[in-house]
Amino acid sequence: MKGKAEVFQQIINAVHDHAARTSDLDALQRFLVELIAAKLPCYDWVGFYMIDPRDPGMLVLGPFRGAPTEHVRIPLTRGICGAAAAQGITLIVDDVRAGPRYLACSLETRSEIVVPIRTAGRVVGEIDIDSHTPAAFGGEDRAFLEACSALIGDFMAARAG
Ligand code: SME
């Protein structure tokens, strides 16, 4: 069986290659979501929330894989998703039940990581991952997801430029 680091690198390489072959952000996001969901069993919900260009105080659900969520629009003032985007920092929550901030997507969720996506220094969205496993996300996951978010941010910057 492949180690986690090897799987992370494989995903990053595949997304990098795919980014060179498409100009469609939605298609690239779907590619990443599907690949992560297929390769990483602990990542039970995988999705994008993007800042609404017409309402910069609001996140809008993008491509995702996992249980359907009622949280299709999240104000930057709400949830772990809102906090990560508003502060522009990666947030890792080992036990989502321990704090008041969490907006429940699935009752099975135990831990969550949210990683902002930046274009030219500005937060334009984020990658959100939920796990049914408590404390599923550590430094390796964070580095991996920050690399994924940098690929998406660079892709958006190149498209805009
Ligand atoms: N848990 C997130 C909301 C998004 S759903 O989990 C998909 C939050 O607390 O912001």
pLDDT per residue as tens digits for the range 67-102? 999 999 999 999 999 999 999 999 999 999 998 889
Helix (H) or strand (E) run with residue 154 in it: helix 139-160
Reading phi first (left if > 0) and then psi (alpha if -120 to 50, else beta), residue 31 is in alpha
User: pLDDT over 70 for what percent of the chain?
Assistant: 99
Task: Judge whether residue 3 has pLDDT over 90.
Answer: no
φ and ψ of 108, to 5 deg: -80, -15
Q: According to the model, what pLDDT value does residue 106 have?
A: 86
pLDDT bucket at 159, cuts 50 / 70 / 90: confident
Q: Which residues line ligand 1 (CB under 6 A)?
A: 45, 69, 71, 74, 79-81, 102-103, 105, 112, 128, 130
Is the pLDDT reported for residue 11 higher than 70?
Answer: yes
Say what the pTM is. Answer: 0.96
CA–CA gap between residue 12 and residue 9 (Å, rounded): 5
Q: Two tokens at 50?
A: 């993007």
User: Which residues, 6 or more positions from 3, have their beta carbon under 8 angstroms from its beta carbon?
Assistant: none
